[in-house]
Amino acid sequence: MPRMTHSPRSTHAPRTSTRRPVLPEDLLELVGVSDPQIDPAGGRIAFTRSHVARNRVVKNLWLVEVDGTRDARPLTAGDQDRFGRWSPDGSRLAFIRGGDPKIGRPQIAILDLAGGEARVVTDLSEGTLRELQWSPDGRGIAFAFRPLSEERTKAARDRREREGLSEPPRVVEDPWYRLDGDGYFLGDRFRLDWLDLESGRVRTLFDRDRLGDFAFDVAPDGRSIAVTANTAATAVLDPWRSEILRIDVATGRATRIASAPVGPKHAVAFSPDGRHLAIAARLGEDGLYSTRNLGLWVGPAKGPSEWRDLLAGTDWCMMAPTLSDSRDASFAASLRWSSDGSRILARIGWQGSGRIASLPLDGSTPRLLTQEGVELSLGNLAADGRRLALAFGDATTPDEVAIGEVGASGIRVSTLTDFNLPFVSSRSIAAPIEHWVESADGTKVQVWELRPPGVPASRRVPAILQVHGGPHGQYGLTFFHEFQCLASAGHSVFFSNPRGSKGYGESFCAAIRGSWGHQDWEDVRAVLEFIRTRENVDAERVGIMGGSYGGYMTNWAIAHDHGLRAAITDRCVSNLLSMQGSTDHYERPDRYWVGAPWDRPEALWRSSPIAHFKGVRTPTLIIHSEGDLRCNIEQGEQVHAALVVQGVPTRFVRYPASTSHGMSRSGPPDLRLHRLHEILAWWRRWMEPSARERPVSDLARGPSRPPRRARRAGGSTARSTRARRIP
Q: Which pLDDT tens digit goes with each residue over 157-177?
A: 999 999 999 999 999 999 999
Does a structural domain hold residue 393?
no
Question: In the predicted model, what is the mean pLDDT of residues 485-501?
Answer: 98
Compute the radius of gyration of the chain from its Cα atoms.
26
Does a structural domain hold residue 643?
yes
Q: At CB < 8 A and 24+ separation, what contacts does 513-518 make?
A: 513/291, 513/592, 514/592, 514/593, 514/594, 514/603, 515/603, 515/607, 516/471, 516/549, 516/552, 516/556, 516/576, 516/607, 517/553, 517/556, 517/606, 517/607, 517/609, 518/607
- Is a pLDDT exceeding 90 seen at residue 293? yes
Instruction: Give the Cβ contact number of residue 349 at 10 Å.
Output: 23
- Is a pLDDT exceeding 60 seen at residue 420? yes
In the 8-state DSSP scheme, what is residue 151? G
pLDDT value for 709: 32
Count of structural domains within the chain: 2
- Is a pLDDT exceeding 50 seen at residue 705? no
Q: How many residues does the chain have?
A: 727
Report pLDDT digits (tens) over 436-446. Answer: 999 999 999 99
Does a structural domain hold residue 661?
yes
Domain that residue 171 falls in: 149-177
Predicted confidence band at 694 (pLDDT cuts at 50, 70, 90)?
A: very low
Give the three-class secondary structure for 137.
coil
Amino acid letter for position 129: L
Predicted confidence band at 69 (pLDDT cuts at 50, 70, 90)?
A: confident
Question: In the predicted model, what is the mean pLDDT of residues 94-100?
Answer: 88
- Is a pLDDT exceeding 60 seen at residue 696? no
CATH (domain of 509)? 3.40.50.1820
Report pLDDT digits (tens) over 598-621. Answer: 999 999 999 999 999 999 999 999
Strand 215-218 and strand 224-229: the pairing is antiparallel
Kindly report the three-state secondary structure assignment for every residue of 560-601.
Answer: HCCCCCCEEEECCCCCHHHHHHHCCCCCCCCCCCCCECCECC
The more confidently predicted of residues 336 and 700 is 336
Does a structural domain hold residue 204?
no
- Is a pLDDT exceeding 90 seen at residue 517? yes
CA angle 192, 195, 199 (to 5 degrees): 155
Report pLDDT digits (tens) over 226-274. Answer: 999 999 999 999 999 999 999 999 999 999 999 999 999 999 999 999 9
Does a structural domain hold residue 314?
no
DSSP string, 329-349: ---S--EEE-TTSSEEEEEEE
pLDDT value for 691: 55
Kindly report the backbone phi and psi dihedral angles of residue 524, in degrees, each rounded to the nearest multiple of 5, phi listed first.
-65, -40
Does a structural domain hold residue 18?
no
Q: How many helices (H) and strands (E) does the chain have?
A: 11, 39
Mean of the per-residue pLDDT values of the chain = 92
Does a structural domain hold residue 153?
yes
Predicted confidence band at 103 (pLDDT cuts at 50, 70, 90)?
A: low
Question: In the predicted model, what is the mean pLDDT of residues 94-113?
Answer: 87
pLDDT value for 17: 52
pLDDT value for 13: 36
Does a structural domain hold residue 549?
yes
The more confidently predicted of residues 295 and 695 is 295
Of 636, 467, 660, the closest CA to residue 546 belongs to 467
Q: What is the dihedral of CA 462, 464, 465, 471, to 10 degrees?
A: 180
- Is a pLDDT exceeding 70 seen at residue 693? no
- Is a pLDDT exceeding 80 seen at residue 99? no
In the 8-state DSSP scheme, what is residue 480? -
pLDDT value for 704: 35
- Is a pLDDT exceeding 70 seen at residue 708? no
In the 8-state DSSP scheme, what is residue 507? H
- Is a pLDDT exceeding 60 seen at residue 16? no
- Is a pLDDT exceeding 50 seen at residue 720? no
